[in-house]
Amino acid sequence: MPPASPPPHPQFILTLSCGDRPGIVGAVGSFLADNGCNIIDSAQFGDVDTGRFMMRVLFERLEVAPERPPLAAAFAPIGERFAMRWALHDAAARPRVLIMVSKLDHCLNDLLYRYRIGALPMDPVAIVSNHRDTYQLAASYNIPFFHLPVTSETKTGQEAKLWALIEDERAELVVLARYMQVLSNDLCRRLEGRAINIHHSFLPSFKGAKPYHQAYARGVKLIGATAHYVTPDLDEGPIIEQEVARVDYKMGADDLVALGRDVECLALARAVKYHLEHRVFLNGQKTVVFR
C-alpha cells in the first residue's frame, strides 16, 4: 500500500497530564494560537477520583509557527507552571517497535499485516522469539529475527541479551504478541509504560494450560481478551483494550480456540494503535484512552 499523502502542514500531538485545576485548557489553547498553530482535534478528561487531568491535542503548524524544538522549549514554562508530565510528538513519526512471540503466531501475523497495509503507524525493527517457528514470517517482511531461547537456568542471560537488543534497536515499544514467558520484575520495571501484552480474559478463572478448553467445559457464554501494559504483577497491568465474543451452544472447544484467536488479535491491534498514536494515559492503576 503506498504511503498516504502528507498533510499540507506539519502536524504534532501534545500530550499532558497534571493535577486538575482551572486554566489548563485556556493556557494550552492560547499558547498554540499565539504561536501560529491550528488545533485539529482535542480530547480532555478530569478524573474526580484521582484529581488528574489528561489532554491530547492534535494540531498543525502553519507557516509562521516555529519548528518543533523551539515550540517545545516555549511550552516548557507552561508545563512547569501546572506541574505537567507532557510531551510534544511529531504526528508523522513512526515509533520503533520490537515484537516478541513464542510459537503461536496469529497476533504477530495480524500486527505485521496491519503494518504492511498502513493501518499501524510503526516501524518494526526486530522480532524476538524463544522458538524458531516464526522466522519465515519475519523474513517475508524483511524484519530481523532473533532466536533467544530461555530456560530457568538461562533466564538472566537471555534477558540481558534482550535488553541489549532493545537498546541497540532504540525500540520505543515492545509488544508481547503471545510471548509465553514471564518477564522478570527488573525487566518489567525497565519497560514500564512501553510494553504491551495480550492474554485471554479468563484469568484468574481459568489459569494454566488450555484455558479455552476449561471455559468450554464450564459452558461460558462469553470469551474475551485483554491487552495491558506489562508490570511486575503478572497479567494485572493497566488495561488498554478488551474485546469479547459470544459463545454459541453449538461451538466446541476448538471453535472457542479459533474465536479466541480473533479477539486476541483485535484487542492487541487496537491497544498498539492507541499507544502509537499517543492516545493512552496512565491514571494510577488504570488508563484513560482517547479513542
Give whole-number Cα distances, 279 to 2, 37, 44, 139, 290, in Å.
Answer: 25, 20, 11, 31, 5
What φ, ψ does residue 165 adopt, rounded to 5°? -65, -40
User: Angle at Cα 176 formed by Cα 55 and Cα 227, nearest 5°?
Assistant: 50
**Quick check: is 47 catalytic?**
no
From its phi and psi, is residue 259 left (phi > 0), alpha (psi between -120 and 50) or beta? alpha
Cβ contact 290:55 at 8 Å: no
CA atoms of 235 and 208, how far apart (whole Å): 13
Q: Which of 235, 254, 255, 262 is catalytic?
A: 235
Local structure of residue 103 (DSSP, 8 states): S
Amino acid at 259: L
195 contacts 227 by C-beta, under 8 angstroms: no
Alpha helices in the chain (DSSP H): 24-34, 68-81, 106-116, 135-140, 155-168, 185-190, 211-218, 253-276
Query: Length of the chain, please?
Result: 291
Catalytic positions = 235
